[in-house]
A = this chain, B = another copy of it.
């Protein structure tokens, strides 16, 4: 693995001060799954009565832990729940052994915590296709259980990192008629990031009381507007997992129709999604691609993804080159409806091209200045209809090559 020594230039100044979510406790440990000298396993425990929801990769070659989580997420009991996550090995494409490793880990946690196995969820992230040395994890379960602490979420966010250069956290507090509820979440992910869903592990917790079907509705709907709208390199992981748990410890009940809660949760999920892009392998630019005026919303998404995934657009962004010609190319190749002569392109507010030609008012130095910023906005209007979509991405740099030509994932 390449040594990732420097923090992304787009990283937030520090890990946020996440609130305690009543009913959830965390622990992390250095188990030596693959890495030395760092923590690599985290455990979260949720009190009895907690509900769980999840969203998972749609890869046809998804990993054993993902399949295991999917089989459990629909079953709801009054018992508590646990999430155990290791970094360093994804336990993906590991055949029958992979299933056995997942079972070994989850049953060890179930036994140690007095939980049914159906309430123990696990994730693994890291190298694909190598056997998970699950004994290194099960050996640490007792130590993890003993260390559980409601204020230990930041250590947990550290333990799940792979090529990440910073741990990712986000929070919200929502005042509702019945009282105040809190949301806190963590994520990891920096490469192999593309929708369906981005390559990533995400764990979000709230002390609201939310029935499991409502929680699933909220998480699935908001996922489509957040994590499914980011791309680093168009590559989709075999391990993508988002789990959310609601402990109910606040005593405040929330339903899927509660707009204030949904907005707060969307804020947390978008914040985490943006942090994943900002930690995109080698990223030096955070890029928002807005497409409007497409024939449909689906067409707008197709155009926006074509722009966001184009290696030529992404290298131009890396070079701070206001190369709108490559954006025209990406729109043209996307397969969605477009007309060269109705297309307009703006960098931020700067009108670059319209009516099939560079704008007479465009000044190259203004475009170049926009490109020098760490956060860049590309606005494309297709000029055909009302379809709109936004995708967030990053640039493609020497750093991406350096990380991925060496790192075995």
Contacts and interface: CB of A to CB of B under 8 A. Distances in A.
Contacts of A96: 356-357
A235 B312 contact: yes
Interface of A: 57, 59-62, 90, 92-97, 127-130, 191-192, 194, 196, 233-238, 309-312, 315-316, 318-319, 321, 323-326, 328-334, 337-341, 343, 353, 355-358, 396-398, 400-402, 404-406, 408-409
14 contacts: A59-B333, A60-B338, A61-B343, A62-B332, A94-B356, A94-B357, A95-B356, A129-B328, A235-B326, A236-B332, A238-B332, A319-B405, A323-B409, A325-B408
A235 B329 contact: yes
Listed residue (A315, A400, A401) with the most chain B CB atoms within 10 angstroms of its CB: A401
Given A311-B235, A333-B194, A129 B319 contact: no
Contacts of A93: 325, 328, 340, 353, 356-357
Given A60-B339, A332-B61, A404-B315, A325 B128 contact: yes
Contacts of A128: 325-326, 328-329
Number of copies: 2
Contact of A405 (B94, B238, B357, B397): B397
Contact of A406 (B309, B319, B333): B319
A331 B406 contact: no
Contacts of A236: 329, 332-333
Contacts of A233: 311-312
A321 B60 contact: no
B95 A333 contact: no
Contacts of A400: 311, 315, 401
A330 B235 contact: yes
Contacts of A339: 60
A86 B64 CA distance: 55
A401 B405 contact: no
Nearest to A324: B129
Contacts of A192: 312, 329
A253 B327 CA distance: 45
Nearest to A382: B60
| 6 tightest A-B CB contacts, nearest first | A128-B325, A95-B357, A61-B332, A319-B405, A59-B332, A315-B404
A316 B404 CA distance: 6
Given A192-B312, A235-B312, A310-B235, A401 B406 contact: no
Given A60-B338, A311-B396, A325-B409, 13 more contacts: A59-B332, A61-B328, A92-B328, A93-B328, A93-B356, A128-B326, A234-B309, A235-B310, A238-B332, A311-B311, A312-B404, A316-B405, A397-B401
Contacts of A194: 333
Contact of A315 (B234, B318, B319, B401): B401
A333 B62 contact: no
B401 A340 contact: no
A339 B95 CA distance: 12
A328 B401 contact: no
A326 to B, nearest CB: 7
A68 to B, nearest CB: 14
Listed residue (A196, A311, A400, A404) with the most chain B CB atoms within 10 angstroms of its CB: A311
Listed residue (A62, A343, A356, A397) with the most chain B CB atoms within 10 angstroms of its CB: A356
